[in-house]
Structure 1
Amino acid sequence: MLPDGYLLHPLTAADAAALAAAAVRNREHLRPWEPSRPEAFFTEAGQREVVDGRLRQVELDLFDCSVLWHGDDVVGAANLQNIVRGAMLGADLGYWVDVAHLRRGLGVALVEHLVQRGRDLGLHRLGASTMVANEPSQSVLRRCGFAEVGRIPAFLYLDGDWRDSILFNLVLHDGPPRG
């Protein structure tokens, strides 16, 4: 559940300017956990491209994205990505919280939202990965019921180097796929 004053809504094309402002505000905060970004990423035009790409993936049922607002500011996002149907029925999740809004329970609220979205979409499992050093994110995942299932060496190229990641998994149900 989100604290008072915060709203979560599906990503729209109109979010690009606020996302660009959030990217600029959080550039250093998120740098260790994300791939290197071109300068255009931090502009409204660059965010418009990102949003357009994500909305195309939403149309293809490969992506589900919600944006966290506090007043007129985007202060986070929650994504289900790499959605797979068929025998797997799974997705990977990702989320971030604005540096000025940490330690308010927002990470847990965003992951709980993603778990519910996964259930709503009829998914069987959700996966997540964190860099080894990202202990706060690992704590959020554990609080939301995710189990650590392993470690992959040199999994992602982030912050200028190949980084090990810790993998997490959450089984949403054991029933057969919904028709």
Structure 2
Amino acid sequence: MNIETEKIFGGVILRPLVQEDASVLCAAYVENRKHLEPWEPCRPDSFFTVEGQRERLDGLLRQYAEGGLVPWVLQADGGRIVGAITLSGISMGPFCSAYLGYWVAADQQNRGLASGAVERVCRIARDTVGLHRIEASTIIENTGSQRVLKKCGFESIGMAQSYLHINGEWRDCHLFQRVLHNADPAG
């Protein structure tokens, strides 16, 4: 699957994750550790090391090669990573669906980066990956992410109790989906 680099705006690009991103991705996670903590699973200290990111990237890129996941980063001028977005759990056949997850750096909030990235990923998911729909979830308190999803055409499809283990506890989540097209699945 050939995924191209795309400009979001203001010098920020959306590009496929590569193994060489381990050190800059580590720096981004270290810089944003407190900012991301309320919205993510508990991370071991090793996650915030270059070696921990290398191991993580090995797994992500293996899943990408197998067709189960597509990982991107948001990269600012100078090479700094200011966010990431991933389609995971890709299922083809009659389902043609995936899950969407993303984050944007604390100092890059409210600039439209998340919305721009989500819109582009939805287009790539439809046109390149061949997906019919994308699902996303947010913990109840993550109203910022809910605004991004709604702005990008995602519809609320319900609430799931104790859906994700986030920041050390099982959390209720709002569920969203965006139907990308209604064509028959590729044979």
TM-score w.r.t. the length of structure 2 is: 0.93
Moved over 6 A (4+): none
Partner SS for 1:36:
coil
Q: CA deviation at 1:4?
A: 2.1
- SS of the residue aligned with 1:88? coil
1:107 Cα shift? 0.7
From 121, 138, 141, give the equivalent of 1:133. Answer: 141
Residue 170, structure 1, aligned to residue 140, structure 2? no
Q: Please name the residue that 1:97 is paired with.
A: 104
**Residue type at the aligned position of 1:149:** I
Structure 1 unaligned blocks of 5 or more: none
- Listed as ranges, the gaps of 5+ residues in structure 2 are 1-6
Partner amino acid, structure 1, of 2:105: D
Provide, for residues 66-111 of structure 1, a one-character-per-residue CA deviation record: whole Å limited to 9, x for no partner.
Answer: 1111122100011100000111000000111000111110010111
The answer to whether the 8 Å contact 1:3/1:104 transfers is: no
Q: What is the DSSP-based 3-state SS (H/G/I as helix, E as strand, rest coil) of the residue aligned with 2:150?
A: helix
Paired amino acid for 1:160: G
2:62 to 56, 59, 62: 56
Measured in 2, the distance between the counterparts of 1:132 and 1:113 equals 25
* Aligned: 1:4 with 2:17: no
Determine whether 1:34 maps to 2:27: no
- Pair 1:110-2:114 in alignment: no
- In structure 1, distance between residues paired with 2:89 and 2:139: 19
Cα distance in 2 for partners of 1:73, 1:118 equals 25
- The one-letter amino acid paired with 1:167 is L
Secondary structure of 2:9 counterpart: coil
Q: Secondary structure at the match of 2:185?
A: coil
Please give the alpha-carbon distance, in whole angstroms, between the structure 1 residues aligned to 2:102 and 2:120: 11
Given candidates 71, 87, 93, the residue that maps to 1:65 is 71
Percent identical among aligned pairs is 45
One-letter identity of the residue aligned with 2:82: V
**CA–CA separation in structure 1 for the residues paired with 2:20 and 2:155:** 36
